[in-house]
Amino acid sequence: MSLLPFENYFINVILPIPLQRLFTYRITEAESKFLKKGMRIAVPFGKKKICTALVYKIHQQEPNAYEAKSIHQILDDTPVVTELQLKHWEWISEYYMCSLGDVFRAALPSAFLLESETIVLKNPKFEDDSVLTDSEFLIYEALSQQSQLSVLEISSILSKKNIFPLLKTMLAKQAILLKEEIYESYTPKLVKYIKLNEKHSGDKALIELLGSLQRAKQQHKALLTYFSLDAQTRKPIKAKDLLEKSAVSIAVLKGLVDKEILEFYHIQEDRVSFGVAGGQLKELNQFQQVAFEEIEASFVDKAVTLLHGVTSSGKTEVYAKLIQKQIDQGKQVLFLLPEIALTTQLIDRLKKYFGGEISVFHSKYSMNERVEVYNNVLESKKNTQIVLGARSSLFLPFSNLGLIIVDEEHETSYKQFDPSPRYQARDTAVLLAYLHQAKTLLGSATPSLESYYNATNNKYGLVKLTKRFGEVQLPKIELVDIKEKHRKKRMTSHFSDRLLEEIQESIDNKEQVILFQNRRGFSPIVECETCAVAPGCPNCDVSLTFHKYRKELRCHYCNYRQSMPLNCAACGSTKLTTIGFGTEQIEMELNELFPDVNVGRMDLDTTRGKYGYQKIIGSFQSQEIDILVGTQMLSKGLDFGKVSLVGVMNADNMLNFPDFRAHERTFQMMVQVAGRSGRSKKRGKVIIQTFNPYHQILQQVSSNDYEGMYKEQLEDRWQFHYPPFYRILKITLRHRDLMTLDSASEWFGKSLTNAFKDNVLGPTAPSVSRVRNLYIKHITVKIPPKQSLKATKQHIVKIQNTFTAIGAYRGVRLGIDIDAY
Ligand code: ADP
Ligand code: ZN
Ligand code: ZN
């Protein structure tokens, strides 16, 4: 007698954790019919935990190593992750040596990844609770009593097991929030204007008015000034301008308003808006038109094309035209930007052209905003036909991409360093486009060496745009030898006489100035004059940075802070001096040198929060700021018409950075900041202060010789075995205990050397060898052009597996980074 085979159904899922393998759960037959690849389910994991998993495969093979648990519940009716996305994830996971779970966690907005430990809060902005179902209302009530609860707590308070779906709908109704969120609201700036009261229009009324004020001298003066301003500019008049021009007090203006002669009104100034009228694309000039046609021609047989266009050549307009063509054909476009907060100007321009079809996506957005964009893309809504986003927007569920544009493709922020997946968004974009059979356009004024190498070797197409728009000349770059200037006593603080002259000239011409200093804070470190000890961070192996504004010392690695000590911790001496200089110090020196000039500062400290950049960029644009001092943030694609001078305070600290790309990076940075000068009409100037004016890279910057820089750097790369010839794979080990770390990294290093011989460098301690109480060691593996990447990785995984099995090294954190640059 044979038994009927009992039908068993199982499901393989991806869990959002770093473990390589998939996990198997038991499901019912009905569930097996309903579930599809890419849907989410809640599953038990570990002892008590419940977390969100992604359906990967449904099958009937019982696992033999363990008893499969049942799933908790189903969370979606239809897949939230598409087949194409999963293919992309698989490629990322294989190429970057990370788990699918790592990609899962990075790819979905965190609201999609509820777990029993997730903390839930009431949304204070939620008002209409009538939209909630009875069960949802119970949760909402529980949250009113206690300001925050974990998913697990809610489920035990309500003695209800199935709350994941309820939380999901409540999130959709925006009744609740998940913790991790930081909220910031942006209040647009209100500017106070002044105008003539309606009653008094017409010439006759004016004469009467002035007559009536014969005895109120001040008011008379103010009104006269108002008329002359009005006649001169024919534009709305700011109350502030009238005050300045007429040299009266605000009380005088108020008096006039009380008499109903003048009146105040406000205009909400969109601080980052562009003065473009209408939504029409601009007509391309002849050079742009040629570039546009060349790109199209190149796409006929190349999947990737590099647009090498000098700063201010109008690459954006070329992009816009390409985008237009895609949407006319009903295709989606992904426009990648290096750091979205810095590119509000560009977003604004594209919004003007494609308003209703654009969505913006980035990690500073609130969770609700991110979920909304994700869902809209999933449903192929019209307003997501164009997505502008930072690197994480690669993970959106596109269905029909026609083109991916990677703007400023050389930017380092396209590389994700931590946590895993450590992907390079530009390269990952090329693959995504390939999966959609779409094209990729890389754009830059200073392409990365790798991309230019691919372009000159026919792997990518290459299109050049060598003229600035309006044929404004590229700025004139002058190198100033500050060693010489010091010797001749021609330095005032950190300013050479040349730089000061030029600043003065710009100010006199009512033009704006950008000063670049690649360090934030007041000065990098404080040092004791007696014993030369510098206060260091207790958690990291670095000196603390002095921030004058708050009179405190800070660690730029872990954010540790303490107030500025009065005496040296080592010898007690009170003679503490500051060494080096940062943005804050430059700002202060400027305030002394140019007391009448408004100085602004843009660095990590002044731009926190979602709208931090917008505020500063906005006030520079509206010319409330005359001189803007900043770090490398300034180099990113900003377009200000009134900037006639860019000054680089010190070019040397970048050149001396210990990294094989330091020279390439310096070139890119300098050319990019220089490119902010003289963008409209008049030729701009750039002053670069340096101790090494004859340095090859600075010479190349000053003659805008990209080709020369490229050739020379490429030779170095070849000679010293670096990309694009050799690949670089970097292994990072971290541990609290230095002895353990030393022995672990020695072991790992030896195992690698056995296999890869001379191509293994290290283990070495990085220049900052301890961060947040963890010691750090690096091992670099160079992979020669002919060596199989796949075999290399497989071997490294083998070593890794043996390593993790060694008890003594348990707790050593291991990170692998492919193309770690
Ligand atoms: P890039 O991105 O190459 O640095 P932009 O696209 O920012 O250059 O263009 C530089 C400036 O020239 C912008 O202010 C832009 O509005 C203007 N511009 C570029 N192309 C055109 C065009 N075809 N018609 C009118 N203005 C243009
Ligand atoms: Zn620290
Ligand atoms: Zn001392």
Please give the Cα distance from 130 to 762 (Å, whole number): 63
Residue nearest ligand 1's atom 18 by CA: 314
Q: What is the mean pLDDT for each group of 10 consecutive residues in the chain (821 residues)?
A: 65 91 92 94 86 94 87 90 97 95 92 84 83 88 84 82 84 81 43 79 71 85 87 77 87 87 69 44 93 97 96 92 95 90 76 86 73 90 92 95 96 90 96 97 96 96 93 89 92 93 93 85 70 81 79 83 86 79 85 92 71 77 88 74 91 79 92 85 90 92 95 95 94 96 97 96 87 93 95 96 93 93 81
Cβ atoms of residues 709 and 695 within 8 Å: no
**Cα 291 → chain centroid:** 28
- Does the beta carbon of 642 lie inside 6 Å of ligand 1? no
Please choose, from the candidates 425, 405, 404, the residue with its C-alpha nearest in 3D space to the C-alpha of residue 415.
Answer: 425
CA–centroid distance, residue 185 to ligand 3 (Å): 46
List the beta strands (DSSP E) in 60-97: 69-70, 73-74
Query: What is the pLDDT, as a whole number, of residue 607?
Result: 67
- Does the beta carbon of 348 lie inside 6 Å of ligand 1? no
Ligand that comes closest to the CA of residue 565:
3
H-run or E-run covering 745: helix 738-756
- Does the beta carbon of 313 lie inside 6 Å of ligand 1? yes
Query: What is the pLDDT, as a whole number, of residue 342?
Result: 63
Ligand 1 atom at minimum distance from 283 CA? 23
CA–centroid distance, residue 543 to ligand 2 (Å): 9
The dihedrals phi and psi of 712, each to the nearest 5 degrees, come to -70, -45
- Does the beta carbon of 640 lie inside 6 Å of ligand 1? no
- Does the beta carbon of 317 lie inside 6 Å of ligand 1? yes
Separation in Å, CA 693 to CA 478, 664, 687, 690, 697: 10, 17, 12, 6, 9
CA–centroid distance, residue 11 to ligand 3 (Å): 65
Mutate which of 469, 473, 635, 673 for ligand 1? The one with the most ligand atoms within 8 Å of its CB, which is: 469
Query: What is the pLDDT, as a whole number, of residue 145?
Result: 82
**Cα 754 → chain centroid:** 40
- Does the beta carbon of 321 lie inside 6 Å of ligand 1? no
Residue nearest ligand 1's atom 14 by CA: 639
First to last CA, the chain: 67
Q: Give helix then strand counts, H and E, for the chain.
A: 26, 37
Ligand that comes closest to the CA of residue 469:
1
Please choose, from the candidates 393, 451, 408, 440, the residue with its C-alpha nearest in 3D space to the C-alpha of residue 316.
Answer: 408
Query: What is the pLDDT, as a whole number, of residue 188?
Result: 42
CA–centroid distance, residue 446 to ligand 1 (Å): 17
- Does the beta carbon of 298 lie inside 6 Å of ligand 1? no
- Does the beta carbon of 287 lie inside 6 Å of ligand 1? no
- The SS3 assignment for 348 reads helix
CA–centroid distance, residue 405 to ligand 1 (Å): 17
How many other C-beta atoms are found inside a 10 Å radius of the C-beta of residue 740?
A: 17
Please give the Cα distance from 224 to 230 (Å, whole number): 10
- Does the beta carbon of 309 lie inside 6 Å of ligand 1? yes
CA–centroid distance, residue 527 to ligand 3 (Å): 8
Ligand 1 atom at minimum distance from 316 CA? 6
Residue nearest ligand 1's atom 26 by CA: 282
Separation in Å, CA 788 to CA 90, 717, 794: 19, 20, 10
Cβ atoms of residues 113 and 13 within 8 Å: no
Query: What is the pLDDT, as a whole number, of residue 118?
Result: 83
Query: What is the pLDDT, as a whole number, of residue 233?
Result: 67
List the beta strands (DSSP E) in 103-241: 119-122, 148-150, 176-178, 189-196, 237-238
Query: What is the pLDDT, as a whole number, of residue 96?
Result: 96
Cα-based torsion angle of the residue sequence 5, 6, 7, 8 in order, rounded to the nearest 10 degrees: -120
Q: Encode 466-512 in three state secondary structure.
A: CCCHHHCCCCEEEEEEHHHHHHCCCEECCEEHHHHHHHHHHHHCCCE
Tokens of 555: 């660690």
Cis status of the peptide bond prior to 421, with omega within 30 of 0: yes
CA–centroid distance, residue 587 to ligand 3 (Å): 29
Tokens of 579: 């060494």
Count how many residues are written for the chain: 821
CA–centroid distance, residue 539 to ligand 2 (Å): 5
Cβ atoms of residues 311 and 636 within 8 Å: no
Ligand 1 atom at minimum distance from 288 CA? 23
Separation in Å, CA 774 to CA 597, 777, 810: 45, 10, 14
- The SS3 assignment for 390 reads coil
Which alpha helices (H) appear in 594-695, and where do they start and end? 612-621, 652-655, 662-674
